[in-house]
Amino acid sequence: MPYKISGTKSETARVIILKESDWSIESNTVISGSGSYEVEGLDSSDKSIIARTNGGEVISYGAVTGEEYSPGARGIFASGWNQSVNHDSMDYITINSVGDAITFGSLTIDRRAADSTSNGTNNRGITGGGYTSTNTDVIDYFTITSTGDAIDFGDLTVAKRVLSCTSNNANNRGLFAGGYTTDSTNVIEYVTISSLSDATDFGDLTVARYNLGATSNGTNNRGVFAGGIDGPIVNTIDYITISGLGGTASDFGDLTVARIKANGCSNGTNNRGVFAGGYIIGDVCVNIIDYITIISTGNATNFGELSLIKQGVGATSNGTNNRGVFGGGWADPTYYNNIEYITITSLGDTTDFGDLNKVGFNSATSNA
């Protein structure tokens, strides 16, 4: 769990927090106005706090112990593409609040067309595959509650891009499905998220395809994969049991409209999955949001709409707390950085959340 320091001040001040274990600066922030303040995301070590006002007055305290707190679910947006330039940036948000994203760190390489998932409350996110100037097999990992750069995790079984990712949350299995190698693929592969290793073959989708979306009902162990393209654009939804191994996915039903790049999230064990945006036949982006009941099979139903027609949004949620967020996306020739949200248990259109630091295609995950 992270720690925070709380206090009060009479005016705007620069607050510097030093770790007494090695006297490194853990936080250096200008905090405006008077009244109470908090500095979050610290570790458990003793601190020295130095506050300097604009007028030059300095007040300091030593041997301060932080307070443990739960910040709520953190969402991470990683990788992307902006005006034909790949990037390695990672942003974060606190999903149960609203506001602009904050810089988190960087992936190990610049790339687009990757995807991300996590082991939920165990706090490890992974981002796999993608495209640099060629396809890549790189899998990175990062600790969601800490800011910093990603670290090499292992490799996919083959280099590929425009794949989809999901997991069974705290049960620690992550899946990478479909994608494009030298052609579309139906391969599903898996990793144990809490361990570092290369991916292993899991089974197959019902239809080889790329640019598909994915989500799951978390520890209830069902993963679903929706839409995509292999020649024609499809409305296919497949499902698998994430904790199982081998064989081919089963038919779940259909999206309301056949499309690609309709990314998904869910409210976890509450069993509702949503797929947002996408690109349909005729070079047209859409703002459609569909929903399914993950534990049951059947066709998707209209949920509402994104604020803009676009494809390739990053999608994640705070799990059973029922907020889904969608960030970034693209509709030729415009790249977007807006973040919007829905209440997954309700039907309706999105509401503005804030903005990402980068625009374009994104992958997303959270620690919920």
The tens digit of pLDDT for each residue in 199-228 reads 999 999 999 999 999 999 999 999 999 999
Looking at residue 1, what is its pLDDT?
Answer: 62
Taking residues 352-360, report their average pLDDT: 87
pLDDT in tens, 171-185: 999 999 999 999 999
Domain boundaries, the chain: 3-68, 74-366
Looking at residue 168, what is its pLDDT?
Answer: 98
Partners of 283 in beta bridges: none
Looking at residue 5, what is its pLDDT?
Answer: 87
Partners of 159 in beta bridges: none
- CATH fold for domain 74-366: Neuraminidase (2.120.10)
Percentage of the residues of the chain whose pLDDT score is greater than 90: 78
Output 69 or 148, whichever has higher pLDDT.
148
* CA atoms of 286 and 209, how far apart (whole Å): 20
* CA atoms of 221 and 141, how far apart (whole Å): 22
Residue 324 CB neighbour total at 10 angstroms: 29
pLDDT in tens, 309-333: 999 999 999 999 999 999 999 998 8
pLDDT in tens, 77-112: 998 777 677 888 899 999 999 999 998 999 999 999
Q: At 324, list the tokens.
A: 């889904």
What letter represents residue 367's amino acid? Answer: N
Looking at residue 240, what is its pLDDT?
Answer: 97
* CA atoms of 278 and 117, how far apart (whole Å): 20
Distance of CA 204 to the CA centre of its chain: 24
Q: Mean pLDDT in the chain?
A: 93
Sequential DSSP letters for 23-90: TEEEEEEEE-SSEEEEEEEE-SS-EEEEEEETTS-EEEEEEE--EE-----EEEEEEEEETTEEEEEE
Domain 3-68 has CATH 3.40.1010.20: no
User: pLDDT category, 3, cuts 50, 70, 90?
Assistant: confident
Looking at residue 32, what is its pLDDT?
Answer: 75
**Which H or E run contains 198?**
none
* CA atoms of 329 and 135, how far apart (whole Å): 21
Looking at residue 147, what is its pLDDT?
Answer: 86
* CA atoms of 201 and 64, how far apart (whole Å): 50
* CA atoms of 340 and 62, how far apart (whole Å): 42
- Asked if 186 contacts 201 with a C-beta cutoff of 8 angstroms, the reply is no
pLDDT in tens, 20-61: 999 999 888 788 778 777 787 788 899 999 999 988 999 999
* CA atoms of 290 and 344, how far apart (whole Å): 11
Looking at residue 68, what is its pLDDT?
Answer: 82
User: pLDDT category, 266, cuts 50, 70, 90?
Assistant: very high
What burial letters (b/e) apply to 53-91, b meaning 16+ CB within 10 Å? eeeeeeeeeeeeebeeeeeebbbbbbbbbbeeebbbbbb
Partners of 241 in beta bridges: 222
pLDDT in tens, 154-167: 999 999 999 999 99
